[in-house]
Structure 1
Amino acid sequence: MVDVRPIAYVLGWILMVLAGLMLLPAFVDWNAGNGNADDILQAALVTAGVGVLLALSSANATRGAFDVRSAYLLTAAIWFVVPAFGALPFMLGAPRLQFTEAYFEAVSGITTTGATVIYGLEELPAGMNLWRGLLNAAGGLGIAFVAMIFLPVMRVGGMQFFRTEGFDTFGKVLPRATDLAKQLLGVYLGLIVIAGLTYSAIGMTPLDAAVHAMASIATGGFSPRDTSFSVYAGAGEYFGALFMVLGSLPYVRYVQLVNGSATPLWRDSQVRAYLKIIAFSVLTVTLWRWLTSDMPFEPAFRESLFNLVSIISSTGFFSGSFPAWGGYMLVVAFVIGVIGACSGSSAAGLTVFRSQLVAAALVSQIRQIVSPGRVVPVKYEGRVVEKDVMDALILYVTGYVLTLGVLTVAMTLVGLDTVSALFAVWTALGNIGYGFGPIVARTGTFVDLPDAGKWIMTLAMLLGRLGLLAIFVLVLPRFWRR
C-alpha cells in the first residue's frame, strides 16, 4: 500500500498556508468595517486547525521515500481537498453559497479556470473578491511548480520529453526543488507586481488592479466585475492581452532569462508556434468581423485580440460583445481553446507542445505511406521523440476527446441544450472559464446551471487541470499495491 503520511504532512502545510492567505481578505474587510471579516477568520481557523492536525500526526513520516505514486496522490489530493477549504469563506461569509456552488467557485479559482457562479460581483465585500484573486494566484503558482518539477517525472501526456539527465527521477528533482521554487516564486510575484502597477496606471481601482493582475498572470480569469474587462475597454484590453500572454509562456524560460540566458525563450519552438497561432487567429477573426459587420477595424481588432488571447491562454476574461459574435469566431475560439497555451505554464488545454507532436506524427505517417520502405521518426526541436512519449501523448489526446464527448452527453442528460453542454464541458475541461451558449447568456455566469451540471463541470475542471491520466491511474487497484 502507498504510505499516505508524507502526503498528509505536505497537505497539512499547504492548508496552513491557505489559512494564512485568508488573513489578507479578512484584514481588508475588517478595515472596511463591513462585518465579513469574522466569517473569513472562522474559515481560516478551521483550515489552520485541520492543517496542523495533519502535519503533526504525520510528521514522523516525512523522511519516507517520495516516488511517482506519491506524486500522483499528492497532486490529486491538493486539487480535490484544498478547494473544500478554499470554499469555506464563500459559505460562511458573503455571498453565503451552498456547498455545491462554493466548491465550484473554489475549484474554478484554484484550477485557474475562471468560471463563476456568482452574479453581482461588485456588491461583494472587497475581501471576498480579493479571496477569489488569491485563489487564482495560489493555484497558478502551484500549477506552474507542478508543471516544472513533477509532470516530466510523472510521465503525464508526453511531458517526460522535458526530462534532463539531472532531472529525471524524484531522487534528483527533490533536492533542487527548493531552489527552483524560490526562483519561480520570484518570477511569478514579479510579473504580478508589474501587471498590478500597470493596471493601476491606466485607471483601475486598487482592488481591480490587484485581482486582475493575479488572475492575468495565473491565467485564472476571476474578475471583481460582472462585465470583466469591458469597463476598461481600450488600454486595459491591450495590456490585459499582454499579461495573459506572459502568464501563459513556459516559466522555466523565465527562470533561465533571470539567470542571464534569453536564448532559450526566443528559440523555444512552442513559444514561436503559440505566438503564430495567436496572430493568425486574431487577424482572421478581425478581418471577418470587420468585413461582415459595421464594426470599425480598431475595436474589432482590440476585442478579437483580448478575447482570443483570453481563450487560448485559458484565462477566461471577456470584453465587449465578443461572446455574441457567433459564426466563424465560435469555430476559431473552440479550436484554439482545445489547443491551449504552452506546456510548463499555468495555462491548460492540450497545449501547443502536444499539438505540435500530433502534427509531427501526422506528417511522419503521411511520409511513410508515400514511401513505405522509409523510416521517418517523429522529431521535435531536432530531437527524436521516443516511443514512450508518443504512447503517452496518444493516450492523453484520446482520453481528452473521449472525456469531452462523455461529459457533454452527461450535460445534455441533466437538461442543457447541445451548444451549452458542449461549451460548458469545453470551458471546464480546458480550464478556459469562457462561457458561450444560452445557459450563460442571461448573466454571463454559470449560476443558472442545475446542481448536477455544476458537479459535472467541477469534475471536468479537475480532470483538465490534473492531466486526465493523473486521475484515472488512481482508480486502478494496481496503483495501491506495492
Structure 2
Amino acid sequence: MARRVMVDLRPVGYVLGLIVTALGATMVVPFLTDFYLGDGNAHAFSAAALACLICGGLTALACQNHASQSLSVRQGFLLTVGIWLAVPFFSALPLMIGAPEVSLLDAYFEAVSGITTTGASVFVGVDDLPAGVLVWRAMLNWLGGLGIAFIAMIFLPVMRVGGMQFFRSEGFDTFGKVLPRATDIAGQLFFVYSGLTVACMLSYHLAGMVWFEAILHALATIATGGFSPRAASFVGYPPAVEYTAALYMVLGSLPYIRYVQLVRGSATPLWRDAQVRGYLRWIAMVVGAVTLWRVASSDQGVESSFREALFNLISVMSSTGFGSGSFVGWGSFAMIVAMWIGIIGACSGASAAGLSVFRVQVILAALRAEIARIHAPHRIAPVRYEGRTVEKDTMDAIILYLGAYIITFGVIAVLIMQTGVDFESAIFASWTSIGNIGYGYGPMVAETGTFIDFPDPAKALMILAMIMGRLSLLSVFVVLLPRFWEA
C-alpha cells in the first residue's frame, strides 16, 4: 500500500518568499505615480509593499537553508500553483487598503484577472480610479504575461505537462541547440518581451494615444492581458489605434521562443512554424467571414466592418479582451464565431491561453489519421505534425487536456448557474475565465461591462477557472490528486 509522505515545503517557501519580496519592490512604481500626482492613494502601495517585503523576506529567510536543494517534480508543481495563488493575494492588498477599497474577494478577483492576463474586471468607473491603480493593473498584466512565458517555456516542458513537451523535440530546437541553459532562455525572453512592449508604446503614441494611455495599453497588449485605463476600452480612438492594437495583439500571442531565435539571427523557424501559419490563416478566415456577413446583413461600411471584426476577433483569439465598436451587438453569428476561436486560443509558448493552435492542429491531424484508417484498415496512418510523427505521450497528453478542458468548462458553467446567474452570462463567464479571454457577454454583464453584479460564489468560481486556465488545468488537477501526496 502506498504511504503518504510529507513534502518538504521549504525549498518552495524560499522561492515563493523571494517572489513576494520582488512583487513588493515593483509596487514602488504605482507608489511614485500616486505620490507625484498627489492622488492621495500612495499610502495604499507603501503599506502593501511593506507587507510583501516583511512576509516574503521572513519566509525566504526561514527557508534559506534549503535554498540550494533542487526541486523535485512534486515541489515544482506546488511552486507553480503556489505562485498563482499567493501572488494575486499580495497584489490585491493595495486595492483593499486604498482606492477603490473593495472587498477581499473583489480585490482578489481583479488581481487574479490581471496576473493571469484574463482582463475581466469587477471595477466600475475605471476612468475615475487614481493613476497608480491604473498603473498597477497594467503592471499585473505585464508581469503575468512574462511570468507564464517563463513557466511555460522553462518549467512545464521539463515536467512534461499538457503537450508543451513538443517544444523539446528536435524540430523546435528549444533547449538543446538554440539556448543550452534556462537562464539564457529567461534572459532572452525578457529582452524580447521588453522590446515588443517598448515598440508597442511608441506605435500607440504615434497612432494617436497620449503617452500615459499608450504605456498602459502597451503593457496589457503584449501580455494579451486586456486591462485598459478606460472603461470604454478602445472605443473612441482613431482607426489607426485599432489597427496598431490588432498587430501587437498578434505579435504578443506568437511563440516567444521564435522571437528568441529571430533575435539570434534565425528567422526560418518563425516562418516555418506550422502553428504560426495556422494561427494567421485562421484569423484571416474568421475576420473575412464575419466582415462579409456584417456587410451583407447591415448598412455598415466595409472598412469599419473589417476593422471592428479584425480588432475584436484578434482580441478574443489572442485572449486579450480589449473591446471596440458595436461588436457585441452584431448578433449570434459573430458571437458564435468569437466563442469558438476563444476556445481555440492562440499559440503555445506565448502568454495567450485556450486550447492553443498547436493542440487543435494535432487533434485535427489525429482525426485525419483515424479517417484514413477507417477507409483503409490495413494502412499504417500515424499522426504527423510538420512532417514528424507525434509521439504517443504527447498525443495522450493532448487528448487528456482536451477532455479536461471540455469537462471543466461545462462544470464551471453549471456551477455558476447554480449561484443565480442566467444561462447566457454563465456560459460566457466560464468561457472567458477558463480561456483567460476577459471578454464579458450576457445580461448580467451588459449594464456595467464588468462582472460586479455576479454573486460572490460565482466570482469565486471564475477565480478558480482563471487560475486553472492559466496553468493549463493539469497542474492544478495533479496537485489535488491523492496520489500526488503518496510515496
Mind listing any 5+ residue stretches in structure 1 that lack a counterpart? none
Spell out, residue by residue over 1:154-209, the C-alpha distance to the aligned partner (whole angstroms, 9 max, x if none): 22222222214799999999981211111100100111111011111222122211
* Contact 2:207-2:244 within 8 A present in 1 as well: no
* Contact 1:233-1:319 within 8 A present in 2 as well: no
Spell out, residue by residue over 1:409-459, the C-alpha distance to the aligned partner (whole angstroms, 9 max, x if none): 111111111111100100000000001111110011111111111111111
CA distance in structure 2 between the partners assigned to 1:304 and 1:433 by the alignment: 17
TM-score, structure 1 as length reference: 0.97
Q: 1:410 to 1:430 in 2, by over 3 A?
A: same
Q: How does 1:73-472 map to 2 (within 5 A)?
A: 73-164=78-169, 176-472=181-477
* Contact 2:167-2:174 within 8 A present in 1 as well: no
CA distance in structure 2 between the partners assigned to 1:134 and 1:58 by the alignment: 28
User: Which residue of the partner structure matches residue 69 of structure 1?
Assistant: 74
Please tell me whether residue 41 in structure 1 is matched to residue 46 in structure 2: yes
Spell out, residue by residue over 1:197-248, the C-alpha distance to the aligned partner (whole angstroms, 9 max, x if none): 1111222122211110010000000000001011214111000000000000
Could you tell me which amino acid in structure 2 is paired with residue 158 of structure 1? G
Identity %: 59
SS at match of 1:329: helix
Could you tell me how far 1:343 is from its partner in structure 2?
A: 0.1
SS at match of 2:117: coil
Q: 1:307 to 1:126 in 2, by over 3 A?
A: same
Q: 1:287 to 1:186 in 2, by over 3 A?
A: same
* Contact 1:2-1:481 within 8 A present in 2 as well: no
SS at match of 1:231: coil
Superposed CA RMSD in Å reads 1.9
Mind listing any 5+ residue stretches in structure 2 that lack a counterpart? 1-5
Could you tell me how far 1:480 is from its partner in structure 2?
A: 2.1
Aligned pair count reads: 482
SS at match of 2:448: coil
Could you tell me which amino acid in structure 1 is paired with residue 300 of structure 2? M
* Contact 2:168-2:175 within 8 A present in 1 as well: no
Which residue of the other structure, out of 45, 52, 59, is the alignment partner of 1:54? 59
Could you tell me which amino acid in structure 1 is paired with residue 80 of structure 2? T
* Contact 2:197-2:222 within 8 A present in 1 as well: yes
Could you tell me which amino acid in structure 2 is paired with residue 465 of structure 1? R
Could you tell me which amino acid in structure 2 is paired with residue 363 of structure 1? R
SS at match of 1:150: helix
SS at match of 2:89: helix
* Contact 1:130-1:207 within 8 A present in 2 as well: no
CA distance in structure 2 between the partners assigned to 1:9 and 1:473 by the alignment: 22
* Contact 1:68-1:153 within 8 A present in 2 as well: no
Could you tell me which amino acid in structure 2 is paired with residue 365 of structure 1? E
